């Protein structure tokens, strides 16, 4: 007799294992690796870090700003402004350290960091099979319909279900955002640190100036390039493509059977 766990039990076990492994392989937030003048320098338990350019302080970070230090340095490096940058590090015991010609700022390569490629591969494998699985199952389902009138009915239900769930998700998000008001009780220092870290990412989203209306939504369902829609994972375009393919295969089967 085979022992088989129920789906909800598997989900609970997965959550527990995820919490256990997350706590065991957590990344040390008080260590940073600097590459300065070709040498590797490990900084730990600092009290303050400053980015200085021509005796002018560009950014100041406290002991909880590991992610901010890495991200802002990367932004400075991408803009090719890291050449004359100095990094000053203060420690609680009064010790000071100045780094010049810094080319890289990274987290310490712990077990969690080393296991990240395996996790990325797993996510890529899931993404790889998602589109072919959805595409093939929908094409087979549409082609196996005995009456073509069912295609329009299924298509209408699919679009209606998508619209209803989208409205529900947006409404729930707006409701809880206005009731809970995330960030209202956040310390001012944390707000400032997050704004400095993600300011450019947020600004790029705002600059996109995305506008959407129902006509454009319906027009964009029809793919210009079906292969590009499959490659980009545009699922609404994939659904439209499978209905067209299913209709074609259904007509082909009917024609062959009549002959």
Domain boundaries, the chain: 31-109, 129-258
The tens digit of pLDDT for each residue in 91-143 reads: 998 889 988 888 888 888 777 777 778 888 988 888 888 777 877 777 676 66
Mean pLDDT over 178-197 rounds to: 75
Residue appearing with tokens 């600092």: 46
Rounded CA separation 98/210 (Å): 44
Hey, what CATH topology would domain 31-109 get? Dna Ligase; domain 1 (3.30.1490)
pLDDT for 203: 65
Full-prediction pTM beyond 0.95? no
Q: Is the pLDDT confidence value at 243 over 60? A: yes
Pull the structure tokens for residue 131: 């589109």
pLDDT for 171: 92
> Which of the listed ranges 26-30, 127-131, 140-144, 209-213 does the model predict with the highest average pLDDT?
127-131
């Amino acid at each position: 007799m085979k022992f088989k766990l129920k789906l909800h039990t598997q989900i609970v076990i997965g959550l527990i294992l995820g919490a256990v492994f997350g706590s065991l392989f957590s990344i040390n937030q008080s260590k940073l690796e600097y590459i300065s003048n070709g040498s590797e320098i490990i900084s730990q338990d600092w009290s303050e870090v400053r980015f200085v350019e021509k005796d002018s302080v560009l950014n100041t970070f406290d002991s909880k700003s590991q992610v901010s230090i890495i991200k802002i340095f990367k932004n400075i490096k991408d803009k090719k402004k890291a050449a004359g940058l100095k990094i000053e590090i203060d420690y609680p015991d009064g010790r000071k350290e100045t780094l010049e010609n810094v080319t890289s700022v990274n987290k310490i390569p712990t077990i969690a960091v080393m296991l990240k490629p395996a996790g990325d591969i797993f996510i890529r494998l899931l993404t790889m099979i998602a589109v072919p699985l959805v595409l093939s199952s929908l094409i087979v389902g549409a082609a196996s319909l005995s009456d073509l009138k069912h295609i329009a009915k299924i298509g209408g239900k699919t679009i209606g279900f998508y619209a209803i769930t989208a409205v529900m998700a947006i409404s729930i998000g707006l409701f809880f955002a206005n009731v809970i008001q995330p960030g209202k009780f956040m310390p001012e220092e944390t707000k400032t640190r997050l704004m400095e870290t993600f300011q450019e990412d947020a600004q790029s989203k705002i600059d996109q100036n995305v506008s959407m209306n129902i006509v454009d939504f319906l027009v964009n369902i029809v793919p210009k390039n079906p292969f590009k829609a499959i490659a980009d994972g545009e699922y609404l375009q994939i659904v439209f493509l499978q209905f067209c393919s299913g209709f074609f295969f259904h007509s082909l089967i009917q024609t062959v059977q009549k002959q």
